[in-house]
Structure 1
Amino acid sequence: MSMTEINLRHPLIAERTTIDFAETREVSPATKRLYDGAVMVPYDEELFRSHDVKRGLRNADGSGVVAGLTRISDVHGYRRENGTLVPDEGKLTICGYNIEKLVAHAQQEQRFGYEELVFLLLTGELPRQDELDATCARIASQRLLPMDYINEFPLTTKSKSIMNVLARAVLMLYAFDETPDDISAPHEIDVALSLLARLPRIAAIAHSVRNAEFEGRRAHIPRPNPSYSMAETILQVLREGDNFTHDEAMLLDVMLMLHAEHGGGNNSTFACRVLSSSATDAYSAYAAAIGSLKGPRHGGANSKVMAMHADIREHVRRWDDDGEVAGYLMKILNREAFDGAGLIYGMGHAVYTLSDPRAKICRQYARKLAEQKGLGEEFALIERIERLAPQVMRDVRGTTKPICANIDLYTGFIYNMLGVPEDLYTPIFAVARTAGWAAHRMEEIYGANRIIRPAYNSVMEQAGYVPLAER
């Protein structure tokens, strides 16, 4: 029976097409404790301190609790001197190579670098030309989705979030793998490469189907070009054709490289490692990582930055006036402007202190395209926000720690220049980060080889059981 033939009067099917929990929730004395009386540890800094609990797996000085060893990457933002954290220039090292040099060499040679970085992450070594060509060909050969998958997949794309669509789509691919629970190295590589090939098209299909349905037309997804890089493939499916420039593709390639890997401790990568430590299948681990990356405290932050930039452009009359821009940033911090959260999005980072190397690279390569597209004034405003925000935050909050721009300050602006719809900002981040997730998953399975199982101290009180009739 097809979806259109389902009898909506069937006793197992509700008549509603969506679920509105607030509308259907019963409000009565009998349900009050159900919703209001959850047993939880209240936020009490002294309680956490007395039990020596590292809230958020963070030490008292803000550094992360060491949870493992890795040869994949190093995120450096400070150094230790006599037991104290000392701010330092940010540096991202991948398999021994500085990310700035990896990006710079690819750009100087006018070639795409993301696939080279994929090979480096999966093998720990830079590829020879023949190895790079073979890797690109392997990814290209996997871009088309199985026909049976396509027959099912578009029916599941109706969602408020394409990230949720991606997670479901990855889990669905499990059913089309003949040996989905195989965790041998060759199969893990095959799954990783296939996801790198397919996720851009899956995200684009979800976006295009939704837009086409809204506009009353059929979605058009072009057939993949086997000679295209990952960046070109993404732009091809977004533009529904080949109407993009080489400079645009090269800038997107930079973004993919910067998002490919950022240490084992970031939330989505750690989520992937936690699931992988149980020896579950690759699809489950990557779907969990996608779910984590969706969060506004993680990969979803770039949309907030774009909304803040739009708000500043609307309310600041003279974008080139330091005093006016700083005054509006102060209003944002004082919860008098923008979303009332009191945050300047795109500023500050959990590890980086003096600088985020990814933000520096974004700024460098975005300037050229901004000038080409007549967006130099908007770009200058973002640079001004980056320069003024730290002092404004010190003035308002009294903070003494260094504050630098993070990559999110520039990513939304860059994606906007490339014509990437806002609902695809984080999915593209997920596509790029799949390479890093794969590297960490395999390191967890074959290296650490032990299920992750931290402990929680119990602070509950003992209770005597009261029979139901006496409560």
Structure 2
Amino acid sequence: MGENIYSKITPEILEMTELCRRNGKIDPELYAKLDVKRGLRDINGKGVLAGLTEIADVHAYNVVDGKTVPCDGQLFYRGYDVEDIVKGFPAGAHNGFEEVTYLLLFGELPTQNELNNFCDVLGYYRSLPPNFVRDIIMKKASKDMMNTLARSVLMLYAYDDNPDDISVPNVLRQSLQLIAQFPMLAVYGYRAYQHYWNDDSLIIHNPDPKLSTAENILKMLRRDEKYTPLEAKLLDLALVLHAEHGGGNNSTFTTHVVTSTGTDTYSSIVASLGSLKGPRHGGANIRVMKMMADLKDHVHDWKDKDALRNYLDGLLNKQGFDRSGLIYGMGHAVYSLSDPRARVLKRFTERLSQEKGCEEEYHLYCDVAEIAADLISRQRKIYKGVSANVDFYSGFVYQMLDLPMELYTPIFAIARISGWCAHRIEELVNDGKIIRPAYKNVLETRQYVEMKDRK
């Protein structure tokens, strides 16, 4: 195949790039001088207040005698502690994600009858328009599953008789359909990628409307369509823990920003997908997995804590892995002493590691988390505590579930669309104004120069 001229960086492009760099750099000192909260967060990591919500809350510190004191993190869905929600799931149940989705959308915990009816609604919507897989997903399969997912969502607009109606009933209908369809869009997109780019057999399994979201993901992905109850439980738990994280995280804030313009549901969700695709947001667990693979290449005795410490110390000093100076999966923009999602996932991860014969690797993760937190606290200027976040363990869980790495971020999206839709509806219900923050221009005005006088 010949060179793709549309993807080539030419000398002209490089020359113009230098203009961008030379004329686009802003003096970093100006941000402090003008009190600009870069990333919309202050020096302690606290976000700038940009809106109000009743959907979720993140608690990471207490105020004692007027001082901010870090504490073990808590995550609340509609006022309920997510750890209590998880504890309340019936033994053997695999539809915790459906229960949490109901809670996020409607603000109340469902009764058993309400949950059953809600699962029936999602099961009814768990299908795609006729020939959609053939005409859309299988055509020009992308190497990136998030792009595939976004393209599919945009194309669903064309199959909707009322795509631009932003009344709450219609947006709720669209939301329920997308929540139900996301697993199919992601899995089928991966199957198309494997077939067209890796010459794998093309296998399409239909979802079962009677199964949960987690069960259907495993059923559709696996050739034999089989999975264990614990596998379904762990994936369901991962979906629950990724479903929502407040209005200020990047992709959910994107939902609010784009929804405030009055645009359609499909465009709003695709904008959030674009945000989540960014490696600073949704791809963290992939970097954790690659870092851990590199660690295993360099530390052959996983029980040698001195060797682990030396490796991690090298990462912090930009002497190992990608030389970024980061230990991936450690620390969080909000949480300090602990991430509640990581605490919950860690407990169940141990059980899955026993079923899969991966106890030694589980203990490796635990040791790395402990040593890394100590090293970071000693070597970095930390304004709050540091601990392992949910991304540190989620990739390991997906690995034990034999989920392909290409689907790690789409699975995040399968979970988070519940939160996005809840926030979109909240924005519409409250008739919010279009979101338009201020940017201060720091370039002095200049006198226009005629073409003949330019140099």
What's the offset of the Cα at 1:240? Answer: 3.5
What's the offset of the Cα at 1:25? Answer: 4.6
Distance 1:414 1:97 in 2: 25
Please name the residue that 2:183 is paired with.
200
Gaps of 5+ in 2: none
Match of 1:223 among 172, 185, 206: 206
Please name the residue that 2:411 is paired with.
428
Residues 157 and 165 in structure 1, CA contact (< 8 A), matched pair in contact too: no
Residues 61 and 85 in structure 1, CA contact (< 8 A), matched pair in contact too: no
1:40 aligns with 2:24: yes
Residue-by-residue CA offset, 1:311-334 (whole Å, 9 max, x unaligned): 111211221122221111101111
Residue-by-residue CA offset, 1:43-100 (whole Å, 9 max, x unaligned): 51x3112222211111233210011111101111112345532101100010111111
Matched residues, percent identical? 45
Please name the residue that 1:375 is paired with.
358
1:235 aligns with 2:221: no
Please name the residue that 2:424 is paired with.
441
Q: Using the TM superposition, name which of 99-108 and 244-253 deviates more.
A: 99-108
Change (3 A) 1:127 1:43: farther
Residues 31 and 38 in structure 2, CA contact (< 8 A), matched pair in contact too: yes
Residues 293 and 299 in structure 1, CA contact (< 8 A), matched pair in contact too: yes
Q: Using the TM superposition, name which of 235-244 and 295-304 deviates more.
A: 235-244
Distance 1:341 1:17 in 2: 31
1:153 aligns with 2:136: yes
- AA of the residue aligned to 1:19: Y
Residue-by-residue CA offset, 1:211-232 (whole Å, 9 max, x unaligned): 1234545411112211110000
1:19 aligns with 2:2: no
Distance 1:68 1:110 in 2: 35
Q: Using the TM superposition, name which of 195-204 and 403-412 deviates more.
A: 195-204
Residues 44 and 384 in structure 2, CA contact (< 8 A), matched pair in contact too: no
Please name the residue that 1:137 is paired with.
120
> Match of 1:460, SS?
coil
Residues 353 and 403 in structure 1, CA contact (< 8 A), matched pair in contact too: yes
Change (3 A) 1:314 1:28: closer
Residue-by-residue CA offset, 1:333-391 (whole Å, 9 max, x unaligned): 11111111010000000111111000001110010110111110110000001111111
Distance 2:19 2:138 in 1: 35
Change (3 A) 1:84 1:223: same
Distance 2:148 2:301 in 1: 41
Residues 258 and 358 in structure 1, CA contact (< 8 A), matched pair in contact too: yes
Residues 259 and 268 in structure 2, CA contact (< 8 A), matched pair in contact too: yes
Distance 2:249 2:393 in 1: 20
Distance 1:351 1:153 in 2: 39
Residues 51 and 457 in structure 1, CA contact (< 8 A), matched pair in contact too: no
Residues 92 and 229 in structure 2, CA contact (< 8 A), matched pair in contact too: no
> Match of 2:430, SS?
helix
Match of 2:50 among 44, 67, 80: 67
Residues 347 and 404 in structure 1, CA contact (< 8 A), matched pair in contact too: yes
Distance 1:430 1:183 in 2: 22
Change (3 A) 1:27 1:75: closer
Q: Using the TM superposition, name which of 231-240 and 389-398 deviates more.
A: 389-398
Spell out the pairing of 1:153-172 with structure 2 (5 A cutoff): 153-156=136-139, 158-172=141-155
What's the offset of the Cα at 1:136? Answer: 0.8
1:110 aligns with 2:93: yes
Change (3 A) 1:424 1:217: closer
Distance 1:294 1:177 in 2: 25
Residues 63 and 351 in structure 1, CA contact (< 8 A), matched pair in contact too: yes
Residues 222 and 241 in structure 1, CA contact (< 8 A), matched pair in contact too: no
Change (3 A) 1:285 1:220: same
- Length-normalised TM-score, structure 1: 0.92
Spell out the pairing of 1:344-355 with structure 2 (5 A cutoff): 344-355=327-338
- AA of the residue aligned to 2:222: R
Spell out the pairing of 1:174-323 with structure 2 (5 A cutoff): 174-323=157-306
Residues 94 and 232 in structure 2, CA contact (< 8 A), matched pair in contact too: no
Please name the residue that 1:394 is paired with.
377
Change (3 A) 1:388 1:298: same
Spell out the pairing of 1:43-62 with structure 2 (5 A cutoff): 43-44=27-28, 46-62=29-45
Change (3 A) 1:400 1:460: closer
1:418 aligns with 2:405: no
What is the count of residue pairs matched by the alignment? 453
Distance 2:413 2:110 in 1: 23
Change (3 A) 1:47 1:32: closer
Change (3 A) 1:334 1:263: same
What's the offset of the Cα at 1:301? Answer: 0.8
Change (3 A) 1:18 1:237: farther
Gaps of 5+ in 1: 1-14
User: What is the RMSD of the two structures over their aligned residues, measured on CA atoms?
Assistant: 1.9
Please name the residue that 1:3 is paired with.
none
What's the offset of the Cα at 1:35? Answer: 4.7
